[in-house]
Amino acid sequence: MLLLSAVLLLVLLSHGQDIPTEKPGVLLPLPKGVCTGWMAGIPGHPGHNGVPGRDGRDGTPGEKGEKGDAGLAGPKGDTGETGVTGVEGPRGFPGVQGRKGEPGESAYVYRSAFSVGLETRVTVPNVPIRFTKIFYNQQDHYDGTTGKFHCNIPGLYYFSYHITVYLKDVKVSLYKKDKAVLFTYDQYQDKDLDQASGSALLHLDVGDQVWLQVYGEGENNGIYADNENDSTFTGFLLYHDTN
């Protein structure tokens, strides 16, 4: 209560200083409507913010700025789809003729072949059979006096033989450099002609010899030939060595 009286006194004094006087020391009456002995109220709460005003007008465009630095290169993009093939252009003019090439290697064809037949019955075993009926021996690589083929061109050769068998069993061997590499055996059937044959691929070096002979001690030498039945021996080069 004392505090409220003090506040009221301060207010009255402040208002008394603002009231004009006609003479010193004489107070003028309070204006009409001013309550005497009034007491100030408690301050109110702050009011709400007002409604925002309207946007202002656009300002004048500013001056153009300086050109900025170039940015970093971006990642490589994906490959695009293939475009449509264009129309074929006109044919160009013939080019200048090139220089003459170097001479090539010789197209020499290596040949080595023979084909021979038997003229008489073989009776001697363990020695080369001498085929003396010559069907082909143009290069003379087969020696009819010894019954042996002599290699003059190194390479791969094919050899074959077809034997008529009569009166005895037959066992023959194909030899290369004093070593039997192939055996053929045929058992003779009484009162009949049989056939026996064999073939092989052999690699030969220059100087190698190949031949056919009866194998054993003579009991298997039924190789036969006459005017109507042949026993033949054939061989030829398939391809020569290149080194």
Residue 178 makes CB contacts below 8 A (sequence gap 6+) with: none
The arithmetic mean of pLDDT across residues 8-17, rounded, is 52
The arithmetic mean of pLDDT across residues 133-143, rounded, is 96
Residue 165 makes CB contacts below 8 A (sequence gap 6+) with: 186, 188, 193, 194, 195, 196, 222, 223, 224
pLDDT at 134: 96
pLDDT at 81: 85
Tokens 């002599």 map to which residue?
150
Instruction: Identify the residue with better confidence: 29 or 141.
Output: 141
Give CA separation, 108 vs 104, 105, 137, 155, 207, in Å.
12, 9, 19, 15, 21
pLDDT grade for 9, boundaries at 50, 70 and 90: low
Cα separation, 158 vs 212, in Å, equals 14
The angle subtended at Cα 164 by Cα 162 and Cα 166, nearest 5°, is 155
Domain range summary for the chain, segments of one domain joined by +: 113-240
Tens digits of residue pLDDT in 204-215: 999 999 999 988
131 CB burial (10 A radius; 0-12, 13-18, 19+): buried
What is the Cβ-side half-sphere exposure of residue 168, based on CA atoms within 13 angstroms? Answer: 16
Give CA separation, 230 vs 18, 128, 133, 195, 225, in Å.
165, 17, 10, 10, 5
Give CA separation, 87 vs 38, 81, 91, in Å.
107, 18, 12
pLDDT over 70, % of the chain: 81
- Check if CATH label 3.10.450.50 holds for domain 113-240: no
pLDDT at 21: 44
Cα separation, 124 vs 126, in Å, equals 7
Tokens 């049989």 map to which residue?
194
Cα separation, 154 vs 201, in Å, equals 13
8 A C-beta contact, residue 113 and residue 233 = no
Give CA separation, 17 vs 4, 103, 164, 237, in Å.
21, 136, 166, 148
Instruction: Identify the residue with better confidence: 227 or 204.
Output: 204
pLDDT over 90, % of the chain: 35
Q: What is the pTM of this model?
A: 0.56
Per DSSP, what are the bridge partners of residue 239? 156
Give CA separation, 139 vs 34, 142, 152, 158, 232, in Å.
158, 8, 10, 16, 18
Instruction: Identify the residue with better confidence: 85 or 203.
Output: 203
pLDDT grade for 128, boundaries at 50, 70 and 90: very high
